[in-house]
Structure 1
Amino acid sequence: MRINTTDMQNAFGKYLSLVEKEDIIITKNGKSVAKLIRYNEPDYFLVHEEAKKYQPTKKVSYEEYMELVESSDQRYELIDGEIYLLASPSFTHQVVVNEISGCFYNYFKGKPCRSLTAPLDVRLFGYATKFEEDPNVVQPDVVVICDEDKVNEKNKYEGIPTLAVEVLSPSTKAKDLVAKLNLYMKSGVLEYWVVNLENKSILQYSFSEERDINYPQSYQQGDTIQSTVFPGLEILLPDIFSEI
């Protein structure tokens, strides 16, 4: 589309809407002087969860991550300098999250620890001594925290969860089984559950004080998963998957 400068000045709002569909060439005295094009947010550092292959071009700083988060209504995670755009979870995913969080709520009610569900930013920093040296921000599906004193003045949690739960989906499987497993281990999380909706199973990892993986335990339909950290916290797998 071509328009002159007078038309542009008189109907600027109109052409801002039209530029969503096509570029607009602005003319003056019959000559092209400017071009109005649609602006797209740069995503050169984003890793979309739907993508099966990606080639990240740079490590992202925490400041860049926060700039993106504060300018968007999307949910993101920052893991080892890469930003992940979180896809909307499925109905089945949320049903299972709700079943697990309900069991956790009943167990931890009246106890010093607390279970919470996403979206909740959890700031981790791996083997580093402080967050600024290795910033990571994740949103576990279910998380148990026992250090509420680590909630800062901005009401953000900056502690180390005791137990984290991730419910797999096709777009998050690789991240949850590799990137998050490694991050939780090196950050001092004591226990990690990976819930598989496809075969209705749970893979349980426990981590040593030296931040190594102890022998992982697999639970199938009919089994009862027992926490390695919290005595008496146990859930029948049929109770988790009965509604799906």
Structure 2
Amino acid sequence: MSLPKEDKNHTYADYLTWPENERWEIIDGVSYMQSAPKWEHQSISGELYRQISNYLIDKPCKVFAAPFDLCLVEDNEKDDDITNIVQPDLVIVCDETKLRKTGYFGVPTLIIEISSPSTARQDRVVKFNRYERACVKEYWIVEPDGKYINVFTLQEDNRYGRPEAYTEEDKVQLSVFTDFIVDLKPVFDGI
């Protein structure tokens, strides 16, 4: 097993050689090690997963929870050459033909990141820009400490518009599934 090098532009081929018991992401060729999430993070992720998964029963889309590799392919890159491999907390994919190897190779319909002080910059800047550039239709940033969510929706100009903000008392109607509403009370309950 090899380890990432700071001065190298990393690819999916490199990623596959790194220790399996460690969580890594690569964004624009730069490697980032992921730390273990807190219990509050896991509680939020679990409840969001439950609500979304229940909604998607008998529908063509699937929801996956981290660890799950999302390989954002650019310009018909070959799998081994991909330089953007992330592990969103939750990801909804609607094209099963792009599920292979260790995850999904393409642009998902929705991504949810549950932020923490150690990941805030990544979630709000680095990943935000990467997901917008990839044209991910809807991107949520969940803030456990403040018990609120910012929802970014891709506009006609392929840019995220002003975020919709929701608190623990709200219900969120997804733009990508207009007949589905997420109840935030149980998402933040008990944390």
After TM superposition, is the score higher than 0.5? yes
Following superposition, the deviation at residue 155 of structure 1 comes to 6.0
Q: Of 22, 25, 50, which residue of structure 2 is paired with 1:102?
A: 50
d(CA) in 1 for partners of 2:70 and 2:48? 19
The aligned counterpart of 1:66 is: 16
Higher mean C-alpha displacement, 207-216 vs 232-241 = 207-216
d(CA) in 2 for partners of 1:208 and 1:186? 12
Q: Percent identity?
A: 35
Q: Of 179, 182, 190, which residue of structure 1 is paired with 2:137?
A: 190
Please say if residues 140 and 152 of structure 2, whose CA atoms lie closer than 8 Å, have aligned partners that are also in contact. yes
Q: Based on CA coordinates, which of the two structures has the bigger radius of gyration?
A: 1
Following superposition, the deviation at residue 99 of structure 1 comes to 0.6
- One-letter identity of the residue aligned with 1:74: E
Structure showing greater relative contact order (alpha-carbon pairs closer than 8 Å, 6 or more residues apart) = 2
**Quick check: 1:124 aligned with 2:82?**
no
How many correspondences in the alignment? Answer: 188
Please say if residues 188 and 209 of structure 1, whose CA atoms lie closer than 8 Å, have aligned partners that are also in contact. no
- One-letter identity of the residue aligned with 2:72: L
Q: Of 21, 37, 60, which residue of structure 2 is paired with 1:89?
A: 37
**Quick check: 1:161 aligned with 2:108?**
yes
TM-score (norm 2): 0.89
d(CA) in 1 for partners of 2:190 and 2:140? 19
d(CA) in 2 for partners of 1:176 and 1:212? 16
Summarize the Cα distance change of 1:43–1:163 in structure 2 as closer, same or farther, 3 Å threshold: closer
Name the SS of the counterpart of 1:213 in structure 2: coil
Summarize the Cα distance change of 1:177–1:228 in structure 2 as closer, same or farther, 3 Å threshold: same
Please say if residues 147 and 160 of structure 1, whose CA atoms lie closer than 8 Å, have aligned partners that are also in contact. no
Correspondence 1:1-244 to 2 at 5 A: 44-45=5-6, 57-68=7-18, 71-125=19-73, 128-132=74-78, 135-152=83-100, 154=101, 156-244=103-191
Summarize the Cα distance change of 1:150–1:205 in structure 2 as closer, same or farther, 3 Å threshold: same
Following superposition, the deviation at residue 43 of structure 1 comes to 5.4
Gaps of 5+ in 2: none
Following superposition, the deviation at residue 106 of structure 1 comes to 1.2
Summarize the Cα distance change of 1:97–1:42 in structure 2 as closer, same or farther, 3 Å threshold: closer
Following superposition, the deviation at residue 172 of structure 1 comes to 0.8
Summarize the Cα distance change of 1:160–1:198 in structure 2 as closer, same or farther, 3 Å threshold: same
The aligned counterpart of 1:21 is: none
Name the SS of the counterpart of 1:116 in structure 2: strand
Name the SS of the counterpart of 1:235 in structure 2: strand
Superposition CA RMSD, Å:
1.9
Summarize the Cα distance change of 1:62–1:111 in structure 2 as closer, same or farther, 3 Å threshold: closer
Q: What do residues 203-233 of structure 1 show as CA deviations (whole Å, max 9, x unaligned)?
A: 0001135421122111123221111111122
Please say if residues 70 and 86 of structure 2, whose CA atoms lie closer than 8 Å, have aligned partners that are also in contact. yes
- One-letter identity of the residue aligned with 2:163: P
- One-letter identity of the residue aligned with 1:221: E
- The runs of at least 4 aligned residues of structure 1 exceeding 6 Å deviation read none
Please say if residues 205 and 213 of structure 1, whose CA atoms lie closer than 8 Å, have aligned partners that are also in contact. yes
d(CA) in 2 for partners of 1:226 and 1:208? 17
Q: What do residues 81-110 of structure 1 show as CA deviations (whole Å, max 9, x unaligned)?
A: 111111011111100000100010111111
d(CA) in 2 for partners of 1:187 and 1:104? 22
TM-score (norm 1): 0.71
